[in-house]
Amino acid sequence: MGNELHELLRSLRVWDPAVTALPDFDPATAPADPLALFTAWFAQAVAAGQVEPHAMSLATADEEGLPDVRTVMLHGADASGWSFATHVDSAKGRQLTARPYAALGFYWPAQGRQVRVRGPVTAAPAQEGQADLHARSTGALAAALTGRQSQVLGSAEELARASGSAWERARHEPDAPVPTWTLYQLRPDRVEFFQGDAARRHVRLNYRRTKEGWVQELLWP
C-alpha cells in the first residue's frame, strides 16, 4: 500500500493547463491595503470557476501550544477583519478562548493562488453572531441547533435523532437562538499573496502591519 501511494503521488502534477490558468501578477500594482487585493482576487477566483473559493483552512493551537487545523467557511472580510463562526464550546472555540490567535489559508488552484492571513482573534458581540447565523441557510441553523460539535458521538442513530429534531425546529423557528454560536473576527497582522508561476518563479507579496500602516515586502519562493 505504501508503494502504491508513493507511485500515485509521483504521478500527480499541479496546475494542469487543462484546468488552470496562471495569471500574471505585478506586485508593483498592488493596492496599499491587503483587503482590497483579497477582494479582487476572491472575485477573480469566482469568475475563474474555482469551486468553493470561500473554503479556508483555520489553524489554531490548544492550551499546550499543539497546532490544529480544519476547513471552515469565510463569512466575511472587512475593516474589522476576516470572519468565521463556530460554537464557543467546540474544539476550535475552546482553543481560541485559550489562545486567541489564528491563521487562515486559502488555496485557489484554478489560478495557482494562495492567500495566508494571520493575527489575533476576537469574538463579535452575541447579537452579531446570531444575526449572521439567521442570515444563513436552514441547514446551517439545523447544524448549529444540533450542537455538541467535536464531542464523542455514541452512535449514528443518536446523531440522526438529534439532527432530525434540529431540522424540524429550524424549519418552524427560523430565528431560533443558539447561545453557543459565535462569530469570530481575525484582525490580520500579516497577509501574504502567492501567485504560482510555471517556471517556479512564484510571486509572494507579504503585507505586514506596523504602527504606521501596512508595509509590503516580496518574499523568495
**Beta strands of the chain (E only): which ranges?**
55-61, 67-73, 76-78, 81-87, 101-108, 113-123, 181-186, 190-195, 203-210, 213-219
Q: What's the predicted TM-score (pTM) here?
A: 0.93
Q: Is residue 8 part of a domain?
A: no
Backbone phi, then psi, for 207, in 5-degree steps? -100, 130
Residue 3 pLDDT level (bands cut at 50, 70, 90) = confident
CA distance linking residue 52 with residue 136, whole number of Å = 16
Tell me which residue of 192, 182, 51 sits closest to 124, measured CA to CA: 182
Backbone phi, then psi, for 71, in 5-degree steps? -100, 130
Q: Name the strand (E) or helix (H) holding 4.
A: helix 2-11
Q: Name the strand (E) or helix (H) holding 23.
A: none
| pLDDT value of position 1 | 57
Q: Is residue 172 part of a domain?
A: no
Contact residues for 160 (Cβ-Cβ < 8 A; gap 6+): none
How confident is the model over 122-134, as a mean pLDDT? 95
Domains identified in the chain, total number? 1
Query: Residues within the annotated binding site for FMN?
Result: 92, 114, 149-150, 204
| pLDDT value of position 118 | 98
Q: What is the CA radius of gyration of the chain?
A: 20
| pLDDT value of position 2 | 66
Query: Residues within the annotated binding site?
Result: 92, 114, 149-150, 204
Q: Is residue 38 part of a domain?
A: yes
CA-angle at 32, arms to 103 and 25, nearest 5°: 80
CA distance linking residue 174 with residue 90, whole number of Å = 23
**What digits encode the pLDDT tens for the residues 56-102?**
999 999 999 999 999 999 999 999 999 999 999 999 999 999 999 99
User: Which CATH number do you get for residue 189?
Assistant: 2.30.110.10
Q: Is residue 146 part of a domain?
A: no
**In the numeric block, which cell numbers belong to residue 195?**
501567485
Q: Which residue segment(s) compose the domain that 203 sits in?
A: 31-137+183-219
Q: Is residue 151 part of a domain?
A: no
Q: Is residue 82 part of a domain?
A: yes
Q: Is residue 58 part of a domain?
A: yes
Q: Is residue 51 part of a domain?
A: yes
Burial class (CB within 10 angstroms; exposed 0-12, middle 13-18, buried 19+) of 183: buried
93: left (phi over 0), alpha (psi -120 to 50) or beta: alpha
CA distance linking residue 197 with residue 23, whole number of Å = 8
Tell me which residue of 141, 98, 123 sits closest to 187, measured CA to CA: 123
**What digits encode the pLDDT tens for the residues 156-193?**
999 999 999 999 999 999 999 999 999 999 999 999 99
